[in-house]
Amino acid sequence: MFSHLVLGLRSAGLPASITEYLTLMGAMKAGVAEYSVDDFYYLARATLVKDERHLDKFDRVFATCFKGLEPTDVLKVQDLPEEWLRKLAEKFLTPEEVAAIETLGGFEALMERLKQLLAEQDSRHQGGSKWIGTAGTSPFGAYGANPEGVRIGQDKSRNRTAVKVWDKREFKDLDDTVELGTRGMKLALRRLRRFARQGAATELDLPDTILATAKNAGSLDLKMVPERHNTVKVLLLLDIGGSMDDHVKLTEELFSAARSEFKHLEHYYFHNCPYERVWKNNRRRHEEVIPTWQVLRTYGPDYKLVIVGDGAMSPYEINMAGGSVEHWNEEAGSVWLERLTGHYRRSAWLNPTPKQSWGHVRSINMLNDLMEGRMFPLTVNGIDDMTKELSR
């Protein structure tokens, strides 16, 4: 009956499940909401939303489903914080344009005017010179001709969505304020630590033995644990630069948090695809390069190789000599990758981009083939699979 609400929520990125939908139906049947629309809204909210960050999205989807409003592109639309706009302006405006903005009364005035207009405007608009919309000469909106133009939204986003975004919604402040993925990362860390203890149970576990003996009313019960080998050596190769920076930081933190569990943990950086040189200090990436051959000689085949990178690049960067965007490489990236995976007995590639999107990027497919399918997403499950693969 209300499946379109659930489907709408799911497509907006809310993790509503069938169980929750059935619960909602059950509650409706039991007459919790009776015949009031407001109560139904509250009930649906209590059933389908489990995190206050999602309340705002829920409000939007609910409005779309039950008021027949135009659909808003919930996923792409973001609130436009002033700082962000300011940054955008700094990035895209030439000094002359900045000066032109000054003629309109400076950035503050521009933002003030934008807010005013958004408050006045209640319908979609195209052309003209005052309203915010597309292809106009008003200072606000996309594809405008006014040098003071502030572009609202990217891609195909239209101003009507922008108005909705600026609409006052009660739970707006709760949207995405909490640090994301802490739980996931903690769990990943646990999995990574598990990686260290392997082999048969050969060591006496004293605390557990005492506990088991006590539980057995005094008769001895021996407990064994696998010896802590601490032999795992890890060589990390991290793609650095541009979009990868955040992921690199996350991965480095993750591995160094688990550092005590490894005998050795070494890391080197590369860009897009490993070639004949890597570096340790990204700020001095051009002065202090280390030949990849040296890495191969220094760290023996017993190291586990973990490469972290989004793998999104031009296919030439992988399979052509001289394909690198940074320098002239004598041998193709694929040659180097094969050399690395051939040298190390266990290797894996961690990819921070979502697994579903891998199929659309040709270079990722090529890399995955080169890794013989050992590319894993940077998620708890992915790390789990990776550690299984690496400790086989």
Interaction site with other proteins (CB under 8 A): 15, 17, 19-20, 23, 26-27, 30-33, 38-39, 42-43, 45-47, 49-52, 55, 170-171, 174, 178, 182-183, 186-187, 211, 214-215, 217-218
Give the list of residues 6+ apart from residue 224 with CB closer than 8 angstroms, or none.
Answer: 201, 202, 203, 204, 205
Identify the DSSP state of 2: -
Nearer to other proteins, 184 or 315 (CB): 184
Q: How far is the CB of 173 from other proteins (least distance, A)?
A: 11
Structure token pair of residue 24 = 């909602």
Residue type, 221: D
- Residue bearing tokens 């399979």: 319
Q: How far is the CB of 77 from other proteins (least distance, A)?
A: 22
| Residue 111 CB contacts under 8 Å (≥ 6 apart), including other chains | 82, 85
Structure tokens at 208: 């557990």
Q: Tell me how far, at minimum, the Cβ of 86 lies from other proteins, in Å.
A: 19
Find the shortest distance in angstroms from Cβ 266 to other proteins: 30
CB closer to other proteins out of 35 and 328: 35
Q: How many CB atoms lie under 10 A from the CB of residue 246? A: 9
- Least distance to other proteins from the beta carbon of 179, Å? 9
Q: Which is nearer to other proteins, 21 or 358 (CB)?
A: 21
Q: How is residue 374 written in tokens?
A: 């050992």
Q: How far is the CB of 45 from other proteins (least distance, A)?
A: 7
Nearer to other proteins, 103 or 182 (CB): 182
Taking residue 12's Cβ as centre, other Cβ atoms within 10 Å add up to 19
Of 254, 248, 249, 266, which Cα lies nearest the Cα of 192? 254
- Considering the complex, state which of residue 215 and residue 392 has its C-beta at the smaller distance from other proteins: 215
Cα separation, 3 vs 320, in Å, equals 51
Instruction: Tell me how far CA of residue 227 lies from CA of 192, 199, 201, 205, in angstroms.
Output: 17, 7, 7, 10
Helical (H) or strand (E) element with 26: helix 18-29
The nearer residue to other proteins, 22 or 109, going by C-beta atoms, is 22
User: C-beta of 215: minimal distance to other proteins in Å?
Assistant: 5
Q: Output the smallest distance, CB 322 to other proteins, in A.
A: 47
Which of 204, 214 has the CB closer to other proteins? Answer: 214
Residue 172 CA from chain centroid, whole number: 21
DSSP per-residue string spanning 298-347: HS-TTSEEEEE----S-THHHHSTT--SSS--SS-HHHHHHHHHHHSSEE
Cβ nearer to other proteins, comparing 17 with 230:
17
